[in-house]
Structure 1
């Protein structure tokens, strides 16, 4: 089998896949390059969907990683409306739904995921929305009118972003969370408490430890009945209960999968010419660490770039420092590194009621930090924390907790 003339192929034209394609061209690859996506749009970033795009302050062009003109100019073949239904690693070949096929030299799987469905919500109800794609965001935006009674199932970041955006548009918002706190899977307890206080202050009705018995209505969702009997009337229902990674193609092809497509330090799958990146990629931060996925802008950006370098023959280990941010009303939160589900090693009060939380490992090295503050006030401190993590030097708990000791001084020492 001669693969000398076969293209590099990327399955998944979201943020990670788009960034990988652009990086391949920027690094000098001039061969045939094929980018395959489910959506008709050019690659775009997803965070604005639940914020600016939902509120009508930005449009798709503001979210693009690149546009169709750039793809054409760079000679990147962008295939849409041609679903990939099969992968044969031994033959280096993809199969499409129409029966045609495409051979590849090397392949990147950046298949992302889809909104997780709630089984008890009938699929035919016209006013039930999920939010994962640009078109879903546009459909929801058209329905968010002042006075609309909106019930949101899920108190993670999608649910909270939609709550803040809908509230800004004049909707009456109720958030239903099954757990004991907001965004409990990814945030420290103190951060969850700050989010809860903020949303309730804004007038959002947030319910914790809620169990849903039924969504009621014939053609549309008219109400949500809770276990215990309470009925919440609604004009719209948004379900934001997480993302389901698209691993089916990899699973059927016999690749090693867990909760995502598993890769080694180079983002290579169990097949040597197939790589994975972005939301669907399950990787280890350290050789002995547990496998994890990261559904963040930063991870899509950095892994897309990194996978492209290794598609070109590099053997570079992925050593990115994780992190994410979210804007909630006029407050912002940011994390960097690994936030453990334990009490922070130290905390620091910030002006205006914000705070920083620090997480040290057994060697007193900073492994993660969380910041909460008005506007973008904690961004500089989080950047300093990232440098402290990279330095891997021992730190004093007392100094970290003392607002009078600038973090840049700890960096120098």
Structure 2
């Protein structure tokens, strides 16, 4: 019987496993994950799961895996791949043979420079946020009046700041660059987010250089280059993620800012595919530019695409990058990649919401970025995403006019 082995039991790996069954695969499927939990969704960890202390939001419960005939090996990691023999050695000593292998090994938090990664994962006063266990430990430390210091002004750091304020903690956020959300978020949107956090009492320090971190039983301290310090009860480091490529690299797979795959998610080694946060891929909508995405929808999309191509579909990546973040009552959504835009058009909407449309030098829509309360911008961002995929060259004045329905531009 044909055996498809999936290494990495997160959102991407789980979606791929179920999609294989939905597409009629009747062979053996094994899903291997290092965490003790069944596959769960990570976005809630900096939001509801942290705020309410929820159990992990599972992709599916144990009964559904059993019903689908998917074997889940939890609390077990893969230690070695033998591509020629098509076997994987597991941490419990077993060797699993496979016919096809899918790597969905994800990414891990980037430790602060000079910080031991093992200590970062197990520290009590200096932590990172990636797993449910991380969220549980951080939640336990966030009591009313607790001082939380966050290093990094990206989505994770800001979402954590918003959640911590709801829990009554005092928050200081330190960002080394001149502004928050400098990676992929236009300055106009970032300014709205910063203003909202400051209104909530979050202290945001940008352009600040850190020379070290110290931890003791009572708390932790950020040592700044100007010799000043920030003392806190807890420090959370949120300065990006590192793709988990070691297993692939040691097996001889090509690496390029992640496990390098082609447009079908196939690696450089026959019968091995990779998907999700761990891989870099070419995107045709942006001149086959190679990129790596750490995003919930990308994990879902690529899990489904990998399943199709493991079964011989030869489908190529077509999804437009999409990101979102919830902070307080605000939702930020971005479709596409705005860097390289030659023109930006603003559309003002109800309730203070607005969308920025980004066009290239030829007038083609390449990205749209919006922010507003609740789902104010969601529908138009979705339509903009479809316009980007269709390669539309919209009239900038029509984009700017609030009464112009984007659906008419898409149809045209």
Q: TM-score, structure 2 length as denominator?
A: 0.95
Q: Are 1:361 and 2:360 an aligned pair?
A: yes
Q: How far apart are the structure 1 equivalents of 2:8 and 2:40?
A: 12
Give 1:343 deviation, angstroms: 6.2
Q: Deviations over 1:50-103 (max 9, x none)?
A: 00000016432xx21112221122111111233211111111111123443111
Alignment correspondent of 1:77: 71
Q: How far apart are the structure 1 equivalents of 2:333 and 2:108?
A: 24
Contact 1:321–1:337 (CA<8 Å) still a contact in 2? yes
Alignment correspondent of 2:158: 160
Q: Are 1:286 and 2:280 an aligned pair?
A: no
Q: How far apart are the structure 2 equivalents of 1:226 and 1:181?
A: 17
Question: Is the partner of 1:180 in helix, strand or coil?
Answer: coil
Alignment correspondent of 1:20: 16
Q: Deviations over 1:241-263 (max 9, x none)?
A: 11111000110111111111111
Of 140, 148, 151, which residue of structure 2 is paired with 1:150? 148
Contact 1:16–1:277 (CA<8 Å) still a contact in 2? yes
Map residues 27-66 of structure 1 onto 2, 5 A cutoff. 27-56=23-52, 58-60=54-56, 63-66=57-60
Alignment correspondent of 2:231: 233
Q: Deviations over 1:228-287 (max 9, x none)?
A: 122222111111111111000110111111111111111101112011111011001118
Gaps of 5+ in 2: none
Q: How far apart are the structure 1 equivalents of 2:91 and 2:10?
A: 20
Q: TM-score, structure 1 length as denominator?
A: 0.94
Q: How far apart are the structure 1 equivalents of 2:123 and 2:72?
A: 34
Alignment correspondent of 2:137: 139
Q: How far apart are the structure 1 equivalents of 2:134 and 2:375?
A: 29
Q: How far apart are the structure 2 equivalents of 1:343 and 1:172?
A: 40
| Distance of aligned partners of 1:411 and 1:351 in 2 relative to their CA distance in 1, 3 Å threshold | same
Q: How far apart are the structure 2 equivalents of 1:33 and 1:273?
A: 15
Contact 2:5–2:30 (CA<8 Å) still a contact in 1? yes
Map residues 12-411 of structure 1 onto 2, 5 A cutoff. 12-56=8-52, 58-60=54-56, 63-121=57-115, 123=119, 125-219=123-217, 221-286=219-284, 288-340=287-339, 342=341, 344-411=343-410
Contact 2:126–2:220 (CA<8 Å) still a contact in 1? no
Q: Which moved more, 1:337-346 or 1:65-74?
A: 337-346
Contact 1:348–1:400 (CA<8 Å) still a contact in 2? yes
Question: Is the partner of 2:284 in helix, strand or coil?
Answer: coil
Q: Which moved more, 1:299-308 or 1:83-92?
A: 83-92
Q: How far apart are the structure 2 equivalents of 1:52 and 1:131?
A: 14
Give 1:364 deviation, angstroms: 1.8
CA RMSD in angstroms, aligned pairs only: 1.7
User: How many residue pairs get matched?
Assistant: 407
Q: How far apart are the structure 2 equivalents of 1:160 and 1:34?
A: 36
Contact 1:344–1:357 (CA<8 Å) still a contact in 2? no
| Distance of aligned partners of 1:125 and 1:273 in 2 relative to their CA distance in 1, 3 Å threshold | closer
